[in-house]
């Protein structure tokens, strides 16, 4: 049965003929969700359902939330947000004593819409207490293989690119990837204390033929090189694990013991598409507060707003044991396994176009 | 000219980069792993037709040029290009083949399209979202097939390939989306 996905200009999804064409994607989605739940259950993970309404939606400079207001019995208003990830709640459950949990979390991100972005989507997060983040690399590879097996395909595909989910992923550090795909010596622009040298990275990017704006920060230039040269080259033929992010690019991850310039953070890619973001979790409340404040200062500078810091979460971090945690864009993996070109094609009811 | 954020640009907009005008062909906002979001664009330089790709921060400010947007009717094509007429004042305009591109197959006599122009030069053409075409080639309907969800290849009267529900037969007039030739419904005429 040929499934078909329509561009955003196309007819409403509820038209029976449109729905019939989309339905094979949706059935693949359901089969994958069931298979994933089974996979986690076999490994003694508990499924948790965390609250979508939060005091803070997440404190990262470029993540934008949907805001709402709680109205008390006396009519008093207090701000609440739809979460951008279930991370604060899940780490608080680890503080409470849970050891292995997963959450098929519906999350919301504002200002994001496109073939790979829906303002409402499903982030599958899972956490392992007392286990290194390398274990999550194995988990990620196993879930890609399970996705393909469940969808009945041998390869993941997107926009003419493909990757073999049964092959062991290639592992690349950010430093290796910047060197290989852009000829840029990334860590030469990061100091031992994590501070970054904007001008050094900007001139390296320019030398590689990537335009830089005068008011670009180090992080902006980093993103330009990543988008222009690195991401399109990842996950071709087989999945890629891109690891060891500079510490300034990993707000919730802990530093790597042998090199504090980089953090225990990796991203899993297939077919040039970012699928999962994983951390050795930062559990130091003072350091976490410092990084949240830096992120919110940057958000205020660029977008003119900041989100509150969730003090209860920082309290919980005092009890959170060493752990590793992963967040996988479930809808994107469905797309790649089912062969869909747009995230809306794998959502039972896509969000209205605004 | 007006300064706008890169993320607010749309396909068909005209921007000024270092004194040269470019029309936007394709645009995507990329949010890489929680990092600085980037607007990635494919553009055509108006002066010489050269295609370039460019990336801006979504918040970066870009010079957007004013363009005229108006309906024209398609007349005919000749060695000069594609001729259209403004139905309000009967003024004619010639559009070059590189602007029309592969949309050429959908142009029909008298069809109303939208043209974006800058100083009387056509920069981009927008087709109606839907057109009615006839199926000229497809597998016959076989017994036992119903209207539920399966599709088969078909060739339409303009030569374009589409996927149609299995119950559609040769000679049926159908409505397709010009964006990607996808089947929408059986024509009601």
A347: Cα separation from own chain's centroid:
18
Q: Is B165 exposed, middle or buried (0-12, 13-18, 19+ CB in 10 A)?
A: buried
- Each residue's pLDDT tens digit, A300-348: 999 999 999 999 999 999 999 999 999 999 999 999 999 999 999 999 9
A198 assigned to some structural domain:
no
Domain with A157 in it:
16-169+318-346
A159 assigned to some structural domain:
yes
Task: Inform me whether the C-beta atom of residue A220 falls under 8 Å from chain B C-beta atoms.
Answer: yes
Q: Between residues B21 and A94, which one has the greater pLDDT? A: A94
Q: CA-nearest residue of chain B to A272? A: B32
Tell me what ipTM this predicted complex has: 0.83
- Neighboring chain B residues of A224 at a CB cutoff of 8 Å: 36, 38, 55
Whether the Cβ atoms of residue A328 and residue A94 lie closer than 8 Å to each other: no
Q: Is A11 exposed, middle or buried (0-12, 13-18, 19+ CB in 10 A)?
A: middle
The backbone torsions φ and ψ at residue B162, rounded to the nearest 5 degrees and listed phi first, read -140, 170
Q: Give the residue-averaged pLDDT of A23-43.
A: 97
- Each residue's pLDDT tens digit, B33-70: 789 999 999 999 988 889 999 999 999 999 998 888 89
A266 assigned to some structural domain:
no
Q: Tell the residue number behind the tokens 């009890």, with chain if given.
A: A319
Residue A1 confidence (pLDDT): 38
CA angle A314, A317, A322 (to 5 degrees): 155
Enumerate chain B positions whose Cβ falls within 8 A of a Cβ in A.
7, 28-38, 40, 54-60, 129, 147-152, 163, 165, 177, 179-180, 182-185
**DSSP-assigned letters across all residues of B84-119:** EE-TTT--EEEE-HHHHGGGGGG--TT-EEEEEEET
Q: Domain with A54 in it: what CATH number? A: 3.30.930.10
- Look at A16-25, A31-40, A135-144, A201-210 and tell me which has the smallest mean pLDDT: A16-25
A34 assigned to some structural domain:
yes
Percent of chain B exceeding pLDDT 70 equals: 96
A25 assigned to some structural domain:
yes
Contact (CB<8Å) B163/A17? no
Whether the Cβ atoms of residue B4 and residue B15 lie closer than 8 Å to each other: no
Contact (CB<8Å) A6/B180? yes
A301 assigned to some structural domain:
no
Domain count within chain A: 1
- Each residue's pLDDT tens digit, B122-165: 888 989 989 999 999 998 876 665 545 577 889 999 999 998 88
Residue B121 confidence (pLDDT): 86
A83 assigned to some structural domain:
yes
Q: Is A154 exposed, middle or buried (0-12, 13-18, 19+ CB in 10 A)?
A: exposed
Give the pTM.
Answer: 0.85
State chain A's mean pLDDT as an integer. Answer: 94
Distance between CA B21 and CA B34 in Å, rounded?
Answer: 32
Q: Is A86 exposed, middle or buried (0-12, 13-18, 19+ CB in 10 A)?
A: buried
A221 assigned to some structural domain:
no
pLDDT of A27 > 50? The answer is yes
Residue A10 confidence (pLDDT): 60
Interacting residues of B17 by C-beta distance below 8 A, sequence separation 6+: B54, B62, B63
Q: Which of B36, B54, B60 sits opposite A219 (nearest CB)?
A: B36
> A330-338 and A16-42 are packed helices; what angle lies between their axes, rounded to 10 degrees?
110
Interface test with B, best of A118, A223, A294 (most B CBs within 10 A): A223
Q: Which of A10, A21, A231 sits opposite B32 (nearest CB)?
A: A231
């Amino acid at each position: 049965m040929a499934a078909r996905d329509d561009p955003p200009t196309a007819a409403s999804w509820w038209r029976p003929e449109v729905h019939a064409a989309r339905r094979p994607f949706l059935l693949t989605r359901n089969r994958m969700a069931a298979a994933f739940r089974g996979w986690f259950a076999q490994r003694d993970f508990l499924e948790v359902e965390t609250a979508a309404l939060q005091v803070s939606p997440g404190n990262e400079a470029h993540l934008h939330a949907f805001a709402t207001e709680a109205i008390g019995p006396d009519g008093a208003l207090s701000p609440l947000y739809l979460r951008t990830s279930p991370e604060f709640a899940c780490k608080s459950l680890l503080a409470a004593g849970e050891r292995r949990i997963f959450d098929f979390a519906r999350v919301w991100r504002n200002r994001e819409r496109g073939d790979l972005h829906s303002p409402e989507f499903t982030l599958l997060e899972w956490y392992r207490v007392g286990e290194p983040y390398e274990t999550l690399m194995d988990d990620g590879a196993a879930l890609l293989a399970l996705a393909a097996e469940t969808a009945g395909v041998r390869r993941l595909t997107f926009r003419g690119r493909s990757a073999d989910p049964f092959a062991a992923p290639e592992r690349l550090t950010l430093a290796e990837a910047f060197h290989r795909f852009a000829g840029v010596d990334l860590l030469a622009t990061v100091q031992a204390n994590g501070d970054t040298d904007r001008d050094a990275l900007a001139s390296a990017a320019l030398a590689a033929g990537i335009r830089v704006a005068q008011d670009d920060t180090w992080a902006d230039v980093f993103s330009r090189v990543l988008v222009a040269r690195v991401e399109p080259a990842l996950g071709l033929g087989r999945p890629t694990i891109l690891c060891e992010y500079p510490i300034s690019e990993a707000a919730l991850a802990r530093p790597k013991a042998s090199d504090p310039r980089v953090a225990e953070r990796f991203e899993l890619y297939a077919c040039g598409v970012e699928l999962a973001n994983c951390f050795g979790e930062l559990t130091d409340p003072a350091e976490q507060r410092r990084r949240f404040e830096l992120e919110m200062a940057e958000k205020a500078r660029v977008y003119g707003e900041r989100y509150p810091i969730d003090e209860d979460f920082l309290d919980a971090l005092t009890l959170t044991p060493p752990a590793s945690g992963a967040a996988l864009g479930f809808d994107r993996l469905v797309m790649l396994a089912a062969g869909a070109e747009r995230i809306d094609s794998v959502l039972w009811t896509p969000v209205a176009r605004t | 000219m007006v300064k706008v954020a890169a993320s607010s640009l749309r396909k068909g907009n005209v921007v000024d980069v270092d004194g040269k005008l470019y029309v936007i062909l394709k645009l995507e906002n990329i949010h890489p792993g929680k990092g600085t979001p980037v607007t990635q664009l494919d553009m055509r330089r108006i002066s010489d037709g050269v295609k370039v790709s460019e990336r801006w921060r979504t918040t970066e400010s870009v010079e957007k040029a004013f363009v005229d947007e108006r309906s024209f009717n398609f007349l005919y094509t000749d060695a000069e290009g594609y001729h259209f007429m403004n139905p309000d004042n009967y003024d004619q305009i010639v559009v070059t083949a590189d602007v029309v591109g592969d949309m050429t197959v959908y142009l029909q006599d008298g069809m109303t399209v939208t043209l974006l122009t800058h100083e009387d030069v056509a920069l981009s053409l927008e087709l109606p979202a839907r057109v009615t075409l006839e199926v000229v080639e497809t597998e016959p309907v076989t017994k036992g097939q119903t209207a539920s969800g399966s599709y088969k290849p078909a060739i339409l009267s303009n030569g374009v390939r589409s996927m149609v529900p299995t119950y559609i037969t040769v000679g049926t007039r159908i409505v397709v989306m010009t964006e990607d030739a996808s089947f929408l419904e059986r024509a009601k005429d």
